[in-house]
Chains A and B, each alone.
Chain A
Amino acid sequence: MKPRIGIFGLSGCWGEQIVILNCEDRLLDLVGALDIVDFLGGSSINDKEGPLAIAFVEGSVANEREEKALQRIRERAGLLVACGTCACFGGVAAMDAAVSREEVIRQVYGDGGPSAGWDIRPHRPLSDFVKVDFSLRGCPMEKSEFLLAAASLLNGDVPQLPAYPVCLECKMNENDCLLISRGLPCAGPVTTAGCGARCPGYNVVCIGCRGPVEESNLSSIEKIFTQKEVSELDVRRKLRTFAAPALDRNAHGGLA
């Protein structure tokens, strides 16, 4: 019997579901090897009740409806994989949690806008609500890491993914260092690798989309950035674009 798989999206941009669909060369193999029984993004007939070997969940938790949906997925799933930075860390919608959402709403929707009764809070990662068995970082997650994780987990293996910073991949690619030689605020030293140091390869600074690497020295990188004539406020914001809840708790990327 083929393993029963569910693919779910909470609040987000659909990026991880698109990444899965972007595995064009492997998609028919995947469909052949797996029984994808619950995938609202791809099918109008879904089994919403039965057990799942693996649930892949993208997006962050934005409201009570999603909190309940996530708990239901957890009950059904043998393994729950958080897919992408929103699911792992809250993502961009978790930025500036201290700023009142009511105030932001007034700015976005104007005075004629919503709306008493709307359930609006800063977004949270999945691990704030349920046990997460495995995390695939990245905004979006990498195709290669998704395929590796799916294959490993289905064979009873724990996928081995990088636990070192983007800097290391950047050095291996022999890129000119954007932080040291060009004086640009690159978050490579504190961000988990696995992207192949994609951005520095395009002469563009790392913006931390894969979340903090374990044991990263945040205060040191903040000091270095501030020396590069970036104001303290800008530094805080730059480093907290994708993983604000984890950084604010000072939990340096302790993920499943």
Chain B
Amino acid sequence: MTRTITVNHLARVEGHGGIKVVLDGDQVTTVDFDVFEGIRLLEGLVRGRSAEDVTGIVSRICAICSHGHSITSLLALETALEVQVTPQTRKLRDLAYQGANIESHALHVFALALPDLVGHPSVISLAAVNPEAVALALRLKKLGNSIQEVMGGRAVHPVNYVIGGFGKVPSVEELLGLKKQIAAGLEDCGRALEILKSIQIPEFVNEPIKCAALVPEDEAFFFGKTVQVCDAEKTIDLSVSAYRALTNEYCVPHSHAKRSTHEGRSYMVGALPRLTINGGRIGGMARKAWEEIRLSLPSTNIVMNNMAQAVEMIFSVERAMALVDELLAAGLAVEAPAPYKIRAGRGAAATEVPRGILFYEYELDGEGRIAAADVITPTAQNLDHAEDQMRAAVQQGARAGASEDVLRHRLEIVARAYDPCISCSVHVIRR
């Protein structure tokens, strides 16, 4: 006898998506993670736009990752136009990424995923019984936004990032203001850790996770030119400029988003893969948190991604403090953006945004217009992996006799574990 379990409209994620799983007896036959967010086709619509205009448009692919989209777009343009930015610009961009990571992870871990883990339908009902926890999460989220506002001029859809650097370099006073907030944020991280320690991560799914993450070249944890892909069998390094060998995009009929597999198998990007591959670089309070919440990597429990995000949030607060100190110690130079000449060229770039690797590639014509553009978002890469994990979760649950309601709730928990950004995933660019 076949039966179908559906989640019509997934709540507490960005964008519109649903899930359909078909079982024959206790054998899963179909899993569709259906993305029905309206197609925006920005990727095609930017063709013909000038290099200086394009970043302000592609930022609109996603609000919560708008700083990541902007800066990755600029890195691809700077590669194509052969622009060299200063070490100060690199540090300021790194700081912006810490802000984005703090904001995004605080929102997801505490407001979107935590209600699942403590049995609430929403953070609103959670606020009624545990206002301190919610206020704490909001303070950390605000810290991330403050950093993004100082760097980018606005928390959503930044305006201050331009080819070659910044429209206006943040002032010493602004950085001193951030330093104070970051110091308070470090204390809040300590309190957050106490809450996190009390959370029991459910263990209903046990399935290997193939990971992909950028390998940092230096202290800039979210930037790199090499992607590492690893599972239990092997580890492969790929150059970012050859990213198509990783992403191998294809389309499926049930979804408006494109999919990715590597060597025929789905892979995951995000906090859990980053810590699995680059965890050796994590020290300080984040390392202490890692140990105290008993995060064990590599993991076969996808729900642990929420805990990896929590560790990364603490890492980012600490890293933000280190960056502000370095910038202040070096003395902030009021630099104009690095100059460049319009030329034909091609450039690819990738960074680690909160949900995983974001790839950008542009081809520019001789007048500096976009001849072709390609954007591959983390959620687009994760969709196949999410379906595989949903299959495993339902399969394992059904064999253990779980009810349909339990299976449906587990599907939602698995989907939300990825912190999917469905708005992002439907806006894939392709030549």
Q: Which residues of A are interface residues toward B (Cβ below 8 A)?
A: 9-15, 17-19, 21-22, 24-25, 27-28, 31, 36, 39-46, 59-63, 65-66, 91-93, 95-96, 99, 101, 103-105, 107-110, 112-115, 118, 120, 123, 139-140, 198-199, 201-204, 207, 209, 233-234, 237-238, 241
Contact = CB atoms under 8 A, between A and B. Distances in A.
A202 B121 CA distance: 41
B134 to A, nearest CB: 7
A14 B15 contact: yes
B5 interface: no
A96 B430 CA distance: 18
A219 B286 CA distance: 57
B423 A13 contact: yes
A61 B41 CA distance: 14
State the 6 A-B residue pairs at the shortest beta-carbon distance, nearest first.
A62-B38, A11-B38, A43-B122, A104-B44, A15-B63, A44-B11
10 contacts: A42-B11, A43-B11, A103-B44, A107-B430, A109-B428, A112-B250, A120-B41, A123-B38, A202-B168, A233-B48
B145 A105 contact: no
Contacts of A113: 251, 258
A198 B154 contact: yes
A105 B39 CA distance: 9
Interface in B271-321: none
Nearest to A209: B157
Contact of B64 (A18, A27, A118, A198): A18
Nearest to A31: B124
Interface residues of B, number: 70
A54 B266 CA distance: 43
Given A202-B167, A204-B160, A108 B428 contact: yes
Interface of B: 9, 11-16, 36-45, 47-50, 53, 56-57, 60-64, 66, 107, 111, 115, 121-125, 127, 131, 134-135, 138-139, 141-142, 145, 153-157, 159-160, 162, 166-168, 250-251, 253, 256, 258, 412, 421, 423, 428-431
A196 B51 CA distance: 26
Given A107-B430, A198-B153, A237-B49, A91 B15 contact: no
B138 A40 contact: no
Contacts of A96: 45
Contacts of A207: 53, 56
A93 B42 CA distance: 6
A92 B258 CA distance: 21
Given A13-B66, A21-B111, A237 B157 contact: no
Given A28-B131, A31-B124, A43-B12, A13 B62 contact: yes
Contacts of B39: 11, 62, 105, 118, 120
A203 B45 contact: no
Given A24-B145, A108-B429, A139 B60 contact: yes
Given A93-B40, A202-B167, A12 B423 contact: yes
A45 B122 contact: yes
A202 B42 contact: no
A93 B423 contact: no
A15 B15 contact: no
A202 B160 contact: yes
Contact of B11 (A40, A115, A203, A204): A40
A120 B127 CA distance: 40
Q: Which of B47, B60, B122, B134 has the most CB of A within 10 A?
A: B60
Nearest to B52: A205
Contacts of B61: 13
Nearest to A119: B38
Given A9-B16, A17-B63, A18-B63, 4 more contacts: A10-B38, A19-B155, A44-B122, A62-B38
Contact of A14 (B45, B48, B63): B63
B12 A101 contact: no
A13 B63 contact: yes
Q: Which of B42, B45, B138 has the most CB of A within 10 A?
A: B45
B135 A28 contact: yes
